[in-house]
A and B are shown apart, each in its own frame.
Chain A
């Protein structure tokens, strides 16, 4: 009798295990298969794509990629995306760390008000600023310029960066700063020699979030750019991948080019990215 229940319990356990593995394996297949399918399809000539979507390429070709670059101007878009991502991320890190230091360690009555107004920015829907920004950017001539895009990207990524930075700097003991001040160090010296070196972890988190956000951003780039020379990769890819477009191979190649940098980044930095999302993802979502 006792043996019996033990056996059924064991069987149930094995069954549960099996079920749990099935769930995770299904998730893994659902993630990997579309990416693999996209990858090998990007080497198929147009005719093979239409004839059989399953099949591996019979006659693999690079022409989809050369097409995407020559006809699709993907190289221009990619360079723009690289500029936007690097410059915006750099500026966000510098500006947010400066503000974080002031908010956390320099006493001022304005701090609660200013800091809270940054926090409100975390909950703001981008759509709420889209139209007035479009109007004012058009009027001052910053629409459809690289500077305009960078300007907007810096602004929308600042709230999260200022929040993460300030909370991090707050945790640095005051005594460190006080003893430096007694030794005659200025605020600038303290910032560069003490605060910044200690803030490396939070700067990595900010870097990951901002870089991902800038590289992947679509709606603002769509609204604020109209000429090919300033378009970013997502807008460029979208522009020739609409529902009616039929050059499938070229689109597949473009999608592969667009997603590869982020997948590489993730495989290299998956530890930091996971940690960053655990800390900051709770806010950003």
Chain B
């Protein structure tokens, strides 16, 4: 009786969360992989098995590879831009090298709480002819006829996007790194200073090794976050000019909800999931290698 009561209470407590989670996340993930091997018609609710046809189709599509390239650009900006920058800023605040650090911290972090879609629209206006960026360039170069074409240049349009990515997300990493820096025992640093270690040595030999775990974790986050990012570029350029700033997620959105190729869209999302698993495994392997080298 006691046990029955315990089990039934357990079920009552777990049920609501579990039921919603299974219905919305667990079940669809499995059926997404299945759908990627079919040609699905939503009006007839009919799925015809087509084997690898969807995968072959996307691998032959240059737009898919453009999207992939841009996704790697976003990953690159996150891992080699946002994370180091966030780390350095956090370190400067941690070592109390700036006064009013609460204010500065808030300034770096503030964009994080604003809707990505709003940020995307705001910056696309900033770079557009009615925005201030072209005006500033006009004033600096003393050329009132200058017109900004970077957003419509197929080779350069990713650059402003990279800038906005840095602007938006550096604050998140600043906060994470700062919290972890503050967990480091100050006695260790004091002891090293007494032993005559320089600031550079303390940074390299104490601070960085202590934060390896966090660096790996944030890299994993940055990668999986970058792979699923959609809102910012969708709002800033919509993937344009043409498809030169497409991401895999935008490619997938267009395939599924504009062209109604649900099978092709599912194939793209399956590729995205596999890609993120592979990259996460790579990062973990790299971490292990560093650990071995350290030991």
Contacts and interface: CB of A to CB of B under 8 A. Distances in A.
A binds B: yes
Interface of A: 17, 20-21, 23-24, 27-28, 30-34, 37-38, 49-50, 52-54, 94-96, 98-99, 101-103, 106-108, 114, 117-118, 121, 123-136, 138-139, 151-152, 154-156, 158-159, 162, 186-188, 191, 212, 215-216, 218-219, 223, 233-234, 237-238, 241-243, 248, 251-252, 255, 258-259, 262-263, 265-266, 270, 273-274, 277-279, 281-285
Given A20-B97, A132-B31, 18 more contacts: A31-B167, A95-B20, A101-B13, A102-B14, A125-B272, A127-B252, A131-B269, A132-B29, A132-B266, A135-B262, A139-B45, A158-B17, A186-B9, A215-B115, A218-B231, A223-B253, A259-B115, A284-B221
A251 B125 contact: yes
A279 B22 CA distance: 26
A118 B22 CA distance: 9
A32 B125 CA distance: 16
A131 B47 CA distance: 13
A212 B113 contact: yes
Contacts of B172: 277, 281, 285
A114 B35 contact: no
Interface stretch (B60-68, B101-109, B284-292): B101-109
Given A32-B107, A234-B117, A259-B115, A281 B176 contact: yes
A285 B222 contact: yes
Interface stretch (B130-138, B184-192, B201-209): B130-138
Contacts of B37: none
Interface in B18-37: 18, 20-21, 23-29, 31-32, 35
Give the 4 A-B CB pairs with smallest separation, nearest first.
A285-B221, A278-B179, A155-B24, A132-B28
Nearest to A122: B224
A34 B118 CA distance: 12
B119 to A, nearest CB: 8
Contact of A24 (B104, B115, B240): B104
Contact of A259 (B92, B118, B130): B118
Contacts of B158: none
Contacts of A212: 113
Interface string B224-250: 110110110011011010000000110
A27 B86 CA distance: 12
A20 B92 contact: yes
A106 B115 contact: no
Contacts of B121: 237-238, 241, 251, 255
Nearest to A241: B121
Given A31-B111, A277-B172, A98 B21 contact: no
Contact of B29 (A96, A129, A188): A129
A5 B128 CA distance: 51
17 contacts: A20-B97, A30-B167, A125-B272, A127-B269, A129-B28, A129-B29, A130-B269, A131-B32, A131-B269, A132-B28, A134-B262, A135-B42, A155-B21, A188-B9, A218-B234, A233-B115, A279-B179
A136 to B, nearest CB: 7
Contacts of B167: 30-31
B115 A234 contact: yes
A277 B276 contact: no
A10 B270 CA distance: 58
Contact of A123 (B40, B107, B268, B276): B276
Contacts of A95: 16-17, 20
B259 interface: no
Nearest to A99: B17
A69 B270 CA distance: 41
B17 A262 contact: no
A233 B115 CA distance: 10
A133 to B, nearest CB: 5
B9 A106 contact: yes
Contacts of A124: 25, 29, 273
A258 B115 contact: yes
A107 B13 CA distance: 12
B235 A282 contact: no
Contacts of A258: 115, 118
A151 B246 CA distance: 29
Interface string B38-50: 0010100100000
B10 A108 contact: yes
Given A24-B89, A102-B14, A218-B117, A123 B224 contact: yes
Nearest to A270: B106
